């Protein structure tokens, strides 16, 4: 029965570089490419696609109606200022209001970010400007990506496999 179904699909198949077989356990996309069987983590693949899109896009700063005030420890102020500089490239606006007081004034439009998440990112220790942006984009991509257990229709599964195979680094940005 399975071979008959595959034979029928093969007849309908367009000239693709892979053959999409389906989804398994609500976690994996199964495809065939040449002599290889591909098992793709649907969440990790979608997360990487979103991460690459976020990393390469311009993000317009959207002013907050009410700036979000926060304080940090005195030994964190310079690190917060360094991270704020990096986050400005992503549309996040931070202004210093005192020795250890800051305000979150803008967030990138089109991204689902909570001010509390930005403040946590600012408070974390370490990281270059690029690492701070990578963490931000990886977190946003993870939250927006298809979740484990989510059922995908055939067209969505095929598109996700196609886009994954086109990636230069088809790995989750978290590792």
50-72 pLDDT per residue, tens? 999 998 888 889 999 999 999 98
Contact 108, 60 (CB under 8 A): yes
Q: Give the Cα separation of 100 and 80 in Å (integer).
A: 10
Straight-line distance from the first to the last Cα atom of the chain, in angstroms, rounded to the nearest whole number: 39
For residues 112 and 143, the answer to whether their CB atoms sit within 8 Å is yes
The pTM (predicted TM-score) of the whole model is 0.79
CA distance 133 to 136: 5
Per-residue pLDDT of the chain (175 residues; tens, 9 = 90+): 334 444 443 433 334 589 999 999 999 999 999 999 999 999 999 999 999 999 888 888 999 999 999 998 888 888 888 888 888 888 999 999 989 999 999 998 877 778 888 888 877 766 777 888 898 899 889 999 999 999 999 999 999 999 999 998 888 888 7
Q: Are 22 and 40 in contact (CB under 8 A)?
A: no
For the chain, what is the largest distance between any 2 Cα atoms, rounded to a whole number of angstroms?
A: 72
């Amino acid at each position: 029965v399975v071979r008959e179904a595959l034979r029928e699909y093969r007849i309908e198949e367009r000239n693709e570089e892979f053959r999409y077989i389906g989804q398994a356990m609500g976690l994996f996309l199964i495809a065939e490419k040449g002599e290889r069987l591909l098992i793709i983590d649907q969440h990790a693949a979608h997360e990487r696609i979103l991460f690459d899109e976020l990393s390469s896009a311009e993000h317009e700063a959207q002013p907050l109606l009410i700036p979000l005030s926060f304080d940090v420890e005195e030994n964190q102020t310079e690190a917060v200022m360094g991270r704020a500089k990096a986050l400005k490239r992503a549309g996040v606006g931070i202004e210093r209001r005192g020795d250890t007081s800051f305000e979150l004034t803008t967030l990138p439009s089109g991204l689902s970010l909570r001010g509390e998440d930005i403040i946590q990112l600012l408070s974390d220790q370490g990281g270059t400007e690029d690492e701070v942006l990578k963490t931000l984009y990886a977190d946003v991509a993870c939250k927006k990506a298809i979740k484990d257990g989510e059922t995908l229709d055939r067209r969505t599964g095929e598109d996700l496999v196609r886009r994954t195979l086109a990636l230069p680094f088809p790995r989750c940005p978290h590792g």
